[in-house]
Amino acid sequence: MNQFWENEYILTAAYYSVVILCIVVFLAIFELVTKYKNWEEIQKGNISVAMATGGKIFGISNIFRFSIQNHDSLFVMIGWGMFGFLLLLTGYFIFEFLTPKFNIDVEIQKDNRAVGFISMVISIGLSYVIGAGIG
């Protein structure tokens, strides 16, 4: 069985499959904590939601990139990826807390592109910081 997991093609397909599944699950969690429905808003053409969601997808993927680079085991990679996602989610709540003059979710739902852009950049930026700490 070890020979099976040592095959680079098998390992790459396993990482890919797990990360796709994690992205879907983590986006569903983000959907639960936001006041808007991501895919409904994107379907309506809401650029702000698309930017914020794209930043989350990039952020999650980037965290897993670091996790894959730094770990040999699929299960350890998943664990670090999940931990990184929790930190990214925490960053979302901190962003909301640090902007008491307006509600991030409401502004993004109203297609405030400045807020959508900042949300995207925060997700991407934090993913690099989180990824650098994955050891």
- The pLDDT of residue 48: 98
Angstrom distances, CA of residue 65 to CA of 12, 19, 46, 119: 12, 9, 28, 21
Q: Report how far residue 85's alpha carbon sits from residue 67's, in angstroms, rounded to the nearest whole number.
A: 11
- The pLDDT of residue 1: 63
* 3-state SS track over 24-75: HHHHHHHHHHCCCCHHHHHHCCCHHHHHHHHHHHHHHHHHHHHHHHHCCCHH
Using an 8 Å Cβ cutoff, are 13 and 73 in contact? no
Q: What pTM value is reported for the model?
A: 0.90
- The pLDDT of residue 120: 97
Tabulate helix, strand, coil % of the chain (nearest 5).
85, 0, 15
Task: Give me the average pLDDT of each 10-residue run along the chain (135 residues).
Answer: 78 93 95 92 97 97 94 87 95 90 94 97 97 88
